Amino acid sequence: MNFEHTEERRMLADTLNRYVSDAYGFNVRDKAAKSPEGFDRAAWSKLVELGAVSALFGEADGGFGGEGFDIAVVFESLGRGNVVEPFLGALVVGSALAEAGGDSHKAALERVVSGEVVAALAHDEPGSHYESVNVQTLAERAADGWLITGAKSAVIHGEQADCILVSARTAGEAQDEQGVSLFLVPKSAPGLRAVGYARVDGGRAADLRFEAVKVGADALVGKEGAGYPVLERAIARGTLALCAEAIGAMEVVKRDTLEYLRTRKQFGVPIGSFQALQHRMVDVLIDIEQARSAVINAAASLDMNRVARERAISAAKYTIGRTGTRVAEESIQLHGGIGMTWELAMSHYAKRLVMIDHQFGDQDHHLERYIAFGRA
């Protein structure tokens, strides 16, 4: 199998990397991450214009990519800039709409792909502990639509989103795959309350409360009670995106750490000449390449059958979680005291790598999941 990127993907990566390098420096990112919105609207618009969202979707859905390697290329570039704009929500929500939305959601999908709206996924619940099937938010039929009641936690860009993809149970018990339905809910829906807060790694998230939120019949995405497989495939694409983002972030951390080892002197020589530090850095480089291989395998497996896809995704996420944490720790230690300062961009990359481990399931969760799918 040929894992070399096509010319179109290389051109896209070059374009995005150039923008991130020239116009999305640490100061721009830091200001956006600390702002009331948690991201920069101007940067979001520019990256959308450069094709960062369109590349995530196929031609039938208004994009020009949509394959696993397209997702990997885009998010690796975004990871290099530690970008806080709402690309993950666009990918996951747009993927679900593209697969199951039908005619009633074509307009919404077009707005997501064009970057006209900010989309967010509201799926995790208090106490769900990464179990994607653990859905206790309820949706009940009303006279001309649905009433949604429940709570969702840690919804990234939950305050700023124009539309929110919500998982809710219409039948079955909390751990049943059957009976989960998906709804596209406008942020302005009466009864929907958001409590926002700053994220540890920059940007903002929100806890959402649905107090008998009424939506129309057309809010249902796909078939009633059959939303879990759609959600699982959309989350798989989002997990691949996070893994690729981590690769981009690790490349920057590696570059900056090597540069520091070459320039920081002690006893009159660069500290990179010390054999003990060289050994530690070599171990980091090997781990990053192994993680990259896992991400390539996950990208290649994205359109395979469920078992092959989910095993590859979980293997990549486990590897990224373990490697990202090690890279973050080693880079800070090799920088010494300066590695802990807020003013150093690398410390923010390190925090992002640690937090990526906790999105869509940490390394322990995905190791168990990998084993479970191996028995399937």
φ/ψ of 18, rounded to 5, equals -65, -40
Instruction: Report pLDDT for 145.
Output: 93
Mean model confidence pLDDT for the chain = 94
φ/ψ of 212, rounded to 5, equals 50, 50
> 3-state DSSP call for residue 159?
coil
Residues contacting 104, CB < 8 A, separation 6+: 218
Q: Is the pLDDT of residue 282 over 80?
A: yes
DSSP class of residue 225 equals T
Write out pLDDT tens, residues 187-200.
999 999 999 999 99
Q: Is the pLDDT of residue 2 over 80?
A: no
The two structure tokens encoding residue 130: 């990464």
DSSP class of residue 226 equals B
Reference 295, options 79, 92, 54; nearest CA is: 79
Mean pLDDT within 250-266? 93
pLDDT tier, 338 (very low <50, low <70, confident <90, very high otherwise): confident
Count of residues making up the chain: 376
> Can you list the domains of the chain with their CATH numbers?
7-113 (1.10.540.10), 119-225 (2.40.110.10), 229-374 (1.20.140.10)
Write out pLDDT tens, residues 73-127.
999 999 999 999 999 999 999 999 999 988 889 999 999 999 999 999 999 999 8
CA 80 to chain centre: 14
For helices 106-113 and 87-100, what crossing angle results, to 10°?
Answer: 150
> 3-state DSSP call for residue 120?
strand
Instruction: Report pLDDT for 3.
Output: 65
- What is d(CA 310, CA 317) in angstroms, rounded to the nearest whole number? 10
Letter for the amino acid at 33?
A
- Residues forming beta bridges with residue 190, ordered by sequence position: none
